[in-house]
Amino acid sequence: MNDLTDFIMANTVLYQLFIALIGVLLITLLVRVMRKSLHRYVKDHSNWYKTRKAVNIFGVVLAVVFLAILYSDMLGGITVILGVASAGIAFSLREVIASIAGWLTVLVGGMFKTGDRVQLGGVTGDVIDLGVLRTTIMETGEWVNADLYSGRIVKIANSFVFTQPVYNYSTDFPFLWDEITLPVKFGSDYEFTRELIRQVAVDNLIDNSEQTKEHWNSMVRKFLIEDATTDPMITLSVNDNWVEFTMRYIVEYKKRRGTQDILFTNILNEIEKNPDKVQLASATFELVNAPPVDVNVKKGAESGSWH
């Protein structure tokens, strides 16, 4: 045992490597103990996710600091080597470096966070993990209508923040303007129909009214943006087939489909109660003119056949 100790002490490189392995092992055990201990106190799923990520980052930083102190006497030589190879490293790891820079930009700039609904790189969904190199999204849409999950998990390199727009549905203003249209037959009572739609909107969207106004006022104070009404608005337009009513309203970004279902259901119920004042229209086609059809039937004189 003494001979082995003397050999390790004599060989500086081997000795430092041995210390580095022991130190990293102890830091790993410390991180696991911290996660296990904190899990007893952090019950909320969202808070536990953030706590776990913070403990992991703490462990990585602690390991880097420990190794830097351990090999401090070799940093001079390492710096020279890295300086010579920096051009090649920067070229070969340009995507990795850009992704790390993108990760820092997202964290510092507050572009989005876990739980937000975003559109990144053409993919729309909820952010379920924000890694150093990649952002993980639970996709919505595609072959699924409205804003329901498709079931696919998409990983996007963080470098996209420098080359593509980032759409956030939920950070400063967690509401969206949405519209539904209603085709009505010519000859219906248009004022009655407008009031019917307005009343359905008032009855079913009242819960969001105060929240939307409060959030929108905060947006107006924070950004240089034109003030806009958050109340439901009903407009009328005419085409060749019918009169079309459009209701524009604000809805929470995760409740678009459910809100449309409620509004359409109540509007249809009210229309069916008043068939003498309003009727829904459907696509119809009118045959204006048709060319004359001349059919000649001749009987063969000799063969007796029909032509």
Question: Sheet of 175-184: strands edge to edge?
Answer: 175-184, 243-252, 233-238
Q: How far is CA 45 from CA 114, 154, 199, in A?
A: 12, 21, 40
Least confident of 46-55, 155-164, 190-199, 226-235: 46-55
Query: What is the domain class of 175-273 according to CATH?
Result: alpha beta
Task: Give every CB contact of residue 148 below 8 A, 6+ residues apart in sequence.
Answer: 140, 141, 257
pLDDT band at 59 (very low <50, low <70, confident <90, very high): confident
Task: Give every CB contact of residue 223 below 8 A, 6+ residues apart in sequence.
Answer: 172
Q: How many whole angstroms from its chain centre is CA 243?
A: 35
pLDDT, average across residues 211-220 = 77
Asked if the model's pLDDT at residue 245 lies above 90, the reply is: yes
| Domain positions in the chain | 2-92, 102-168, 175-273
Nearest alpha-carbon partner for 249 in 262, 267, 232:
232
How much is the pTM?
Answer: 0.61
Question: Which residue type sits at 176?
Answer: L
Block residue for tokens 């519209």: 179
H or E element that contains 157: strand 149-157
Q: Rounded to whole angstroms, how far apart are CA atoms 42 and 168?
A: 28
Question: Is CATH 3.40.50.300 the right assignment for the domain spanning 102-168?
Answer: no
Q: Rounded to whole angstroms, how far apart are CA atoms 126 and 152?
A: 11
Same fold across 102-168 and 175-273: no
Instruction: Return the DSSP state at 171.
Output: S
pLDDT band at 265 (very low <50, low <70, confident <90, very high): very high
Question: Is the CB of residue 189 less than 8 Å from the CB of residue 278?
Answer: yes
pLDDT per residue as tens digits for the range 97-136: 788 888 888 888 778 888 888 888 788 888 888 888 888 8
